[in-house]
Amino acid sequence: MNIKQIKSYYFSHDINASEDIKMKKLLSKYGSLGYGIYWGIIEKLHDEMHNIDDIICILSFNRFGDSNTIENCINYCISLNLFVEKSGKLKSNRVDRNLEFLENRKTNLTKFRSNAGKKGGLKTQELRREKLNKINESQNEKN
């Protein structure tokens, strides 16, 4: 699912993400550049860009660093289990949970709106029937 499809251009971010031991290791090795690369990757994964080469290209174009530094940082993140790599594609369990939450929220909102529409439609039908009954009663009284 593409985050743009659910018209929500944000994702939850743990307030204390930098306090996580894995993030501390990343910060220790790559500094704020590594932290920026990590969050840049998280953004791309939320947008369903998983191909490592594409991510490296985009991040280097956006001046997160040269492609070698980005690739090394990605490999380090994989070694810390911040990301999982399979067949040249990146994955994050956290991103998967975020997208699942957003999809469930969208589904629930759609169901809520559908039910509200049905209730409104039933109420409208009921009011129309009452109005017709009143009209019929008044016509019957005249006859």
In tens digits, what is the pLDDT along the chain, a chain of 143 residues? Answer: 444 454 555 666 677 788 889 999 999 999 999 999 999 998 888 887 788 888 899 888 878 778 999 999 999 999 999 999 988 889 888 887 777 766 766 665 566 676 677 777 777 887 788 888 777 777 777 76
Residue ranges per structural domain of the chain: 10-91, 93-143
Two structure tokens written together for 40 = 């840049």
Element containing residue 86 per DSSP (H, E): strand 84-86
pLDDT for 3:
46
Q: Which residue has the tokens 């704020």?
A: 32
pTM: 0.62
pLDDT for 11:
65
End-to-end CA distance of the chain: 64
